[in-house]
Chains A and B, each alone.
Chain A
Amino acid sequence: MSFLDYFLGSRRKSASVAKDRLKLILAHERSDGTPDFLPALQEELLAVIGKYIPVEKDQISVNMERRGDFEVLELNVLFPDQH
């Protein structure tokens, strides 16, 4: 950085932008990201639950996340109003 940059106030350096972007994407990719079977699992769960309770696709959500040393598969089903 030059003396004049100091007074003119320079924009954020692109290398530090690169580093921050890489930190995020590498952390995401190292954790294996989202397993690719999730959409299929969601479809099949919808079909099974749908046999017993009338639910819409957007009322089921399936998520996988890493917490500490283990992964948690989270299934949320929003039941329709009973009345």
Chain B
Amino acid sequence: MAKIVVVTSGKGGVGKTTTSAAFASGLAIRGFRTAVIDFDVGLRNLDLVMGCERRVVYDFINVIQGEAKLQQALIRDRMLEKLFILPTSQTRDKEALTAEGVARVMDELHGEFDYVVCDSPAGIETGALRALYHADEAIVVTNPEVSSVRDSDRILGILAAKSRRAEEGKEPVREHLLLTRYAPRRVQGGEMLSLEDVKELLRIPLLGVIPESETILQASNQGIPAIHMKGSEVAAAYEDVVARFLGEEKPLRFTQPEKPSFLKRLFGG
């Protein structure tokens, strides 16, 4: 039986798709059969970030509307045998993402996979609501910045009210905070919210911190999920995220600035 994990945030551009690609890859590296689904109907991007854009034939909406079988639409990852991508449609409007259709696809994935990762679109409309509805766990991707924190708080409210678990009165969706684009030096200088600040504001357990890094752009340029960028801080941070998600103890890394020089300490950096 699959566990369903939504990667969500409310705000756009905070790193949901980057995280979905890296996190799903990380689960597959650990040997779990994993499917990652793009819920951003009309603005397909997960395929690009995962480097499978030229292999898309059928999509999520084709499956919902009965034009293709799920097996035909699932794309096997280039690098990981146990990872599959379900791309979304670029052409249809988001109303095509019907509640019944999504439920049917989820049901079918349930038997085939260990984890289903749902990459949510930004906003709080149909696509985002469908993406979080079936979730057992939620990774709330947040930047240390006022509008992102506020939108994450909104999404937490929606998870608590509109998820299937909430509607059926089951145990609530397990929420995890993932802080991305974190710049320790700016935090130290008092110009960026610290991870303690964001934890205190959002009041959910911290799953990990991904440092701000040029590596992310290099990875997406090439269509390689960031967790494969060997030797980079970002890859190591995502590996830790996956480990913690699976219940392992991992101390936080990359959350302190490198020691500045004496002159910098004297004159400010």
Contacts and interface: CB of A to CB of B under 8 A. Distances in A.
Question: Is the A/B pair a real complex?
Answer: yes
Interface of A: 1-5, 13-16, 18-19, 21-23, 25-26, 29-30
Interface stretch (B32-40, B128-136, B187-195): B187-195
B201 A19 contact: yes
Contacts of A22: 146, 149-150, 193, 201
Given A18-B146, A19-B201, A30-B157, A1 B193 contact: no
Chain B interface extent, by class: 20 to 34
Given A4-B267, A18-B193, 5 more contacts: A3-B267, A13-B190, A15-B192, A15-B193, A21-B146
A15 B197 contact: yes
A23 B153 contact: no
B269 interface: yes
Contacts of A16: 190
B194 A15 contact: yes
A18 B157 CA distance: 21
Contacts of A30: 153, 157
A55 B228 CA distance: 71
Contacts of A26: 149-150, 153, 201
Nearest to A32: B157
Please name the 9 residue pairs, one residue from A and one from B, whose CB atoms are nearest each other, closest first. A13-B190, A2-B268, A19-B197, A15-B190, A3-B266, A18-B146, A26-B153, A15-B193, A22-B201
B154 interface: yes
Contacts of A18: 145-146, 193, 197
B259 interface: no
Q: Which of B189, B264, B266 has the most CB of A within 10 A?
A: B189
Nearest to A21: B146
A22 to B, nearest CB: 5
7 contacts: A2-B267, A3-B268, A4-B266, A13-B190, A22-B201, A25-B150, A30-B153
Contacts of A13: 189-191
B170 interface: no
B230 interface: no
Interface in B140-158: 145-146, 149-150, 153-154, 157
Nearest to A3: B266
A15 B154 contact: no
A24 B248 CA distance: 35
A29 B153 contact: yes
Contacts of B55: none
A30 B150 CA distance: 11
A1 B267 CA distance: 9
Contacts of B150: 22, 25-26, 29
Interface string B58-96: 000000000000000000000000000000000000000
Interface string B216-254: 000000000000000000000000000000000000000
A1 B194 CA distance: 15
B54 interface: no
A5 B265 CA distance: 10
Given A2-B268, A3-B265, A4-B266, A14 B190 contact: yes
